[in-house]
A and B are shown apart, each in its own frame.
Chain A
């Protein structure tokens, strides 16, 4: 059913170089709206580089790529960035700002109403921590804040870099349920992980990367 949906990601022999070293060495990939894809692979396989290319955070060296309607060769990367949401495993916020302040900053930057913040925070289970500085949150809570940031933004393409790292079973279950809702709502989600997703509720497409190439594709 998802394959009838419009294409959100279209890569053809996409190569990304950094200092002459290939981070991605010829990736061809199509992703449709309302799909969930997990990108697996060992450290250095190119998972984060692929996500960063899709976010317009690294330049395409050769090949062609269209993401969320923006041509990565000729289009404005800032236009693309406003259409994607990024959640990194390092933590994606200003540590000295509170949960509320971080979300207000994101909402105002994107000219979104700030009235939704309290409901989003409640949705990700941080209602009791809304005025807590982000640096005082646990890893799992920071991940929930990241999801809140993305829920507030409602991007077309969600890019989650190792979101399951240091999450307990409850956190993983919460994450799976929320991703299921997001995909059902028509957003495209790409998740990087070391191992295939062990989820009872989600049936993602799994791509395996090695040496900057896709070497396995299982639906």
Chain B
């Protein structure tokens, strides 16, 4: 399972590195969304607003949806799907590999967006650094849930529009916990209770994915 996961993750990351979709399309979109958020708050309010963590996670949600669709699209050409299916890869390994690749992409994008939040939303740098570990875990949980929901909607004609509708209820607790954790880091409050929620969600989505990804692929 681990061998398959590393193989699939390496393949997905290599495809992303070669296509540069993340670098030239997704990251600029996220940075522009943060910039617009900063402009909407206005220069006088940006530094004092408590909206920074929420806006950060709103933009993370938008870029995550793009990246999940992209992650599934590379598998969805009918010929590719059939010929890769005949490799008989362990579905649990495929799930972990795709989730790992998506998490890596989200971590890299998250770093850029965090810098953007400091720059455009005047989020305190020290608070952002304190929040970094919780952001890493939240993005990993988003990647696991996103890989599951991406597989659920892949192949359908309306995959791009169906994914947000189906995935948002699953993402909402993660986004809320992530935002609360980020806010607590900025305000010097306790972080651990939000960490527990995110860590449990990550473990739950990984377990569900390992158990059910094969069923989703077959369906």
Contact = CB atoms under 8 A, between A and B. Distances in A.
Real complex partners, A and B? yes
Contacts of A91: 77, 79-80
Given A78-B88, A81-B88, A87 B83 contact: yes
Interface residues of B, number: 20
Interface string A67-84: 000000000011101101
Interface in A99-136: 101, 105-106, 108-110, 133
B7 A109 contact: yes
B15 to A, nearest CB: 4
B44 interface: no
Given A96-B19, A133-B18, A81 B85 contact: yes
Given A89-B79, A92-B82, A109-B7, A81 B74 contact: no
Given A79-B88, A81-B87, A109-B89, A94 B82 contact: no
A108 B88 CA distance: 12
B18 A88 contact: no
B14 A101 contact: yes
A164 interface: no
Contact of A82 (B4, B79, B80, B87): B87
A33 to B, nearest CB: 18
A88 B86 contact: no
A78 B15 CA distance: 25
B78 interface: yes
Contacts of B126: none
A85 interface: yes
B85 A57 contact: yes
Interface of B: 4, 7, 11, 14-15, 18-19, 74, 77-80, 82-83, 85-89, 218
